[in-house]
């Protein structure tokens, strides 16, 4: 009997496996591909994801961090400065998806997870105390299953979870090619009355070319993409020749915005693209999935270990479903603004002016980067991510992120609250109590393993022991 079977070994599935293994659970990842594809459709990690990974000691491993001012776009209009909202840590991290996946996979294996490649989950049947999976023509039993197997998730379909939203209206093509005239192709985001061409030009190697055609969605979403189709689409939209050769990673997709109606059905849970898909404006998809993994891992592990009731898993849907719904909403807004019809130009010009206002920059930047995420945890004044602060303890100074590396919840006593320390005594086997001083305007704070605040004294409607039992079991 496997404790947790993770279907899908992409970045989300691998990070989830690492999170579970960190908590003492030995998950098994079933990945369809015998070897990693090496392809990276995403390459941007935003500030909130960077902060989460820093709390696990993974930030410096995943890519190149940029701090301070960072120009970013909304619907292809570059007017946001992510540095003004990032707070602690990097404003953005350049991390090719394939590389991040391998970083998370190595960490998962180091911690005791098992990865079975070339094995695809094709179906499942739920029972009262386990799930029976169909994997490569045989049956495998697991106590819980997490579908991280992408937009066409077999786990989601087998669990009967509806995937609803709006269908595609835009036809997108993408691929890496060698441009035969690289200096004749305008780099960056190019909008014309016929559509969009996004070009990351590399005169010395392969360039990433993406086209957005707003006339109609793809007639056949699964049809293979030819070099001629990508070239023809780019030339029609730009109105200039775009000679290219040596294609790699050609793909087609659309702007469908779909979300699982529930992230949990009994012993089956969903994360990443299996739970939500949308157009890639702002690079929010991978980040949303990785934050799913950070939210779910410690909760599922606590239930598997018998330290928390199964109802704790319901908070996963309650917290993460609204976050992804908000992502789908802002992506649909960006797609509407991106319409190539010249009649849209005045609205884009007005929107670009608004983006120059500090309040608008903070609102949109916080939304895109995820730093405005606050969970409804049932305790007034809580639900936000506790910033990395220096804690002065009797053993010397220590950073908050260092204390969270082991994935244990923390009770920080910052004002000599002996009463709270005594109240938490029954949870000392799973909650670390740290007595310190810090530049925080609270007497104490209960921090979940994912770094979010679960409870603060004097602001909550219930006592500490109720918060401890709610999140970490009786």
Rounded-to-10 torsion of CA 148, 150, 151, 153: -60
Q: Are the CB atoms for 143 and 57 separated by under 8 Å?
A: no
What mean pLDDT comes out for the span 11-38?
Answer: 96
Tell me what pLDDT residue 195 has.
98
Q: Distance of alpha carbon 405 from its chain centroid, rounded?
A: 19
The span from the CA of 42 to the CA of 438, in Å, is 38
Tell me what pLDDT residue 105 has.
98
Q: Which two tokens stand for residue 432?
A: 């670390």
Bridge partners of residue 166, in order along the sequence: 257
| The pLDDT of residue 133 is above 90 | yes
Tell me what pLDDT residue 381 has.
87
Helices (H), ranges, 279-425 = 284-304, 314-337, 345-354, 358-369, 400-403, 418-423
Q: Which two tokens stand for residue 357?
A: 């206002």
Tell me what pLDDT residue 300 has.
98
Bridge partners of residue 20, in order along the sequence: none
What mean pLDDT comes out for the span 144-149?
Answer: 98
Give tens-digit pLDDT for 354-400.
Answer: 999 999 999 999 999 999 999 999 888 899 999 999 999 999 999 99
| The pLDDT of residue 458 is above 90 | no
Confidence band of 39 (pLDDT split at 50, 70, 90)? confident
Helix H or strand E segment including 447: strand 444-447
Query: What is the average pLDDT score of the chain?
Result: 96
Percent of the chain with pLDDT over 90: 96
Q: 5: closest CA among 157, 123, 140, 161? A: 140
Give tens-digit pLDDT for 258-278.
Answer: 999 999 999 999 999 999 999
Q: Which two tokens stand for residue 458?
A: 């004097």
Using DSSP, state whether 401 is helix, strand or coil.
Answer: helix
Tell me what pLDDT residue 40 has.
81
Give tens-digit pLDDT for 78-116.
Answer: 999 999 999 999 999 999 999 999 999 999 999 999 999
Q: Looking at the whole model, is its pTM more than 0.75?
A: yes
Question: In terms of C-beta density within 10 A (0-12 exposed, 13-18 middle, 19 or more buried), how is residue 224 classed?
Answer: exposed
The span from the CA of 288 to the CA of 45, in Å, is 10
All domains of the chain in start order, with CATH: 2-166+258-369 (3.50.50.60), 171-254 (3.30.70.2450), 390-472 (3.40.30.120)
Q: Distance of alpha carbon 398 from its chain centroid, rounded?
A: 28
Q: Which two tokens stand for residue 222?
A: 């699964």
Angle value at C-alpha 22, between 19 and 24, nearest 5 degrees: 120
Give tens-digit pLDDT for 226-265.
Answer: 999 999 999 999 999 999 999 999 999 999 999 999 999 9
Q: Are the CB atoms for 3 and 142 separated by under 8 Å?
A: yes
What mean pLDDT comes out for the span 436-441?
Answer: 93
Give tens-digit pLDDT for 184-226.
Answer: 999 999 999 999 999 999 999 999 999 999 999 999 999 999 9
| The pLDDT of residue 460 is above 80 | no
The span from the CA of 43 to the CA of 60, in Å, is 15
Confidence band of 71 (pLDDT split at 50, 70, 90)? very high
Tell me what pLDDT residue 307 has.
94
The CA-atom distances, in angstroms, between 369 and each of 7, 92, 227, 238 are 27, 8, 34, 30
The span from the CA of 12 to the CA of 189, in Å, is 28
Bridge partners of residue 189, in order along the sequence: 198
Q: What is the CA radius of gyration of the chain?
A: 23
């Amino acid at each position: 009997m496997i404790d947790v079977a993770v279907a899908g070994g992409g970045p989300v599935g691998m990070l989830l496996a690492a999170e579970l293994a960190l908590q003492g659970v030995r998950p098994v990842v079933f990945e369809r591909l015998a070897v990693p594809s090496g392809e990276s459709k995403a390459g941007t990690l935003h500030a909130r994801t960077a902060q989460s990974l820093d709390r696990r000691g993974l930030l410096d491993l995943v890519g190149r961090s940029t701090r301070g001012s960072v120009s970013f776009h909304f619907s292809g209009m570059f007017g946001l400065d992510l540095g003004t909202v990032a707070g602690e840590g990097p404003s953005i991290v350049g991390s090719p998806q394939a590389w991040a996946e391998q970083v998370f996979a190595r960490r998962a294996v180091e911690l005791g997870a098992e990865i079975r490649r070339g094995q695809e989950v094709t179906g499942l049947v739920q029972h009262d105390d386990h799930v029976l999976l169909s994997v490569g023509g045989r049956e495998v039993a697991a106590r819980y299953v997490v579908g991280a197997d992408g937009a066409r998730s077999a786990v989601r379909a087998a669990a009967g979870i509806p995937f609803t939203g709006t269908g595609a209206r835009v036809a997108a093509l993408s691929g890496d090619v060698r441009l035969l005239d690289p200096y004749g192709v305008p780099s960056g985001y190019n909008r014309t009355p016929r559509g969009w061409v996004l070009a990351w030009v590399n005169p010395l190697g392969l360039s990433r070319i993406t086209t957005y055609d707003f006339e109609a969605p793809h007639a056949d979403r699964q049809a293979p993409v030819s070099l001629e189709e990508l070239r023809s689409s780019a030339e029609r939209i730009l109105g200039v020749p775009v000679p290219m050769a040596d294609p790699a990673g050609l793909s087609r997709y659309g702007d469908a915005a779909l979300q699982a109606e529930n992230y949990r059905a009994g012993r089956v849970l969903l994360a990443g693209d299996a739970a939500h898909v949308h157009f890639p404006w702002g690079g929010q998809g991978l980040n949303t999935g990785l934050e799913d993994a950070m939210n779910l891992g410690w909760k599922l592990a606590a239930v598997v270990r018998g330290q928390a009731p199964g109802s704790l898993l319901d908070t996963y849907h309650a917290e993460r479903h609204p976050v992804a719904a908000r992502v789908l909403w802002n992506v649909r807004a960006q797609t509407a603004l991106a319409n190539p019809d010249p009649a849209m130009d005045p609205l884009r010009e007005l929107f670009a002016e608004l983006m120059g206002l500090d309040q608008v920059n903070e609102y949109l930047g916080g939304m895109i980067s995820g730093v405005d995420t606050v969970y409804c945890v049932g305790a007034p004044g809580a639900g936000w991510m506790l910033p990395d602060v220096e804690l002065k303890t009797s053993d010397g100074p220590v950073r908050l992120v260092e204390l969270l590396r082991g994935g244990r919840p923390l009770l920080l006593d910052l004002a000599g609250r002996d009463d709270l320390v005594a109240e938490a005594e029954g949870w000392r086997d799973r909650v670390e109590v740290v007595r310190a001083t810090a530049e925080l305007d609270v007497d104490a704070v209960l921090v979940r393993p994912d770094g979010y605040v679960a409870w603060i004294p004097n602001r909550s409607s219930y006592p500490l022991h109720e918060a401890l039992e709610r999140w970490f079991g009786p």
